[in-house]
Amino acid sequence: MTGATGPELEYFRAIEDTFIRLRGTPFLLSPSDWRLAALWYGRGIPVGLVCRALEELFERRAARGKSGKVQSLRYCASAVEDAWRERRELGSESLAGQRRAIDVAARLDRLADALPADLDERSAWAGRIRAAGDEPQEAESVLVTLDSELVDRCIAGLTPASRGLLAAEVDSSLEAVSQRLAADVLAADRERLLREAARRQAGLPLLSLFSPDARAI
């Protein structure tokens, strides 16, 4: 959850620490997990409510004897939404007072401007970003698809040597925890890290209304 500062970073860290503690093994949050936490923050959902919802969900899983590791924070999204809806219905939180206004068009412009100057078909990508939508949920949904497509394009353009170097970098970063992770979890984390390493190498912004590149400085 890099790029966030101040209260936003504290919010993300609290959720991340709670999720990892409840999961019981090391875990690397994915960009989609980051987006989900950012959406909760942007909507003003209190971090204490999020963490309590996670704890209650894991307690219910344990009570039902469910096995297997939870692979994504998104698994917990329904529990958080239910808790937030109940809180609002009880009138203990004001959604209108908590919601943070978002200038969608301005954030899309910043994301388009943040594309690297040497990106192939940069103007076309920028146009697609700016046309993502007027409403936050609509625009964020489009950005998720665009982000995945852009990273896919970046990886496809790597030479075998470049891809090998990125893979070696990822394996090195996972070395400390690889023995404690199941094979499927390790493979998923390796793929996520490879995609993020490719993003960094290409200088691509994370296409999200809540990414650092989208927010006003």
Query: Is residue 109 domain-shared with residue 96, that is, in the same domain?
Result: no
Query: Is residue 119 domain-shared with residue 75, that is, in the same domain?
Result: no
Query: Is residue 159 domain-shared with residue 63, that is, in the same domain?
Result: no
Query: Is residue 83 domain-shared with residue 119, that is, in the same domain?
Result: no
- What is the chain's mean pLDDT, rounded? 80
**Is residue 92 over pLDDT 50?**
no
Secondary structure (H, E, C), the chain: CCCCCHHHHHHHHHHHHHHHHHHCCCCCCCHHHHHHHHHHHHCCCCHHHHHHHHHHHHHHHHHCCCCCCCCCHHHHHHHHHHHHHHHHHCCCCCHHHHCCCCCHHHHHHHHHHCCCCCCCCHHHHHHHHHCCCCCHHHHHHHHHHHHHHHHHHHHHCCCHHHHHHHHHHHHHHHCCCHHHCCHHHHHHHHHHHHHHHHHHHHCCCCCCCCCCCCCCC
Note the pLDDT of residue 198: 86
Query: Is residue 26 domain-shared with residue 80, that is, in the same domain?
Result: yes
Q: Which domain holds residue 157?
A: 103-217
Query: Is residue 112 domain-shared with residue 88, that is, in the same domain?
Result: no
Note the pLDDT of residue 201: 85
**Mean pLDDT, to the nearest integer, of 113-122?**
94
Query: Is residue 112 domain-shared with residue 214, that is, in the same domain?
Result: yes
Tell me: the pLDDT tens digits for 36-70?
888 898 888 888 888 888 888 888 887 777 766 77
Query: Is residue 135 domain-shared with residue 216, that is, in the same domain?
Result: yes
pTM: 0.58
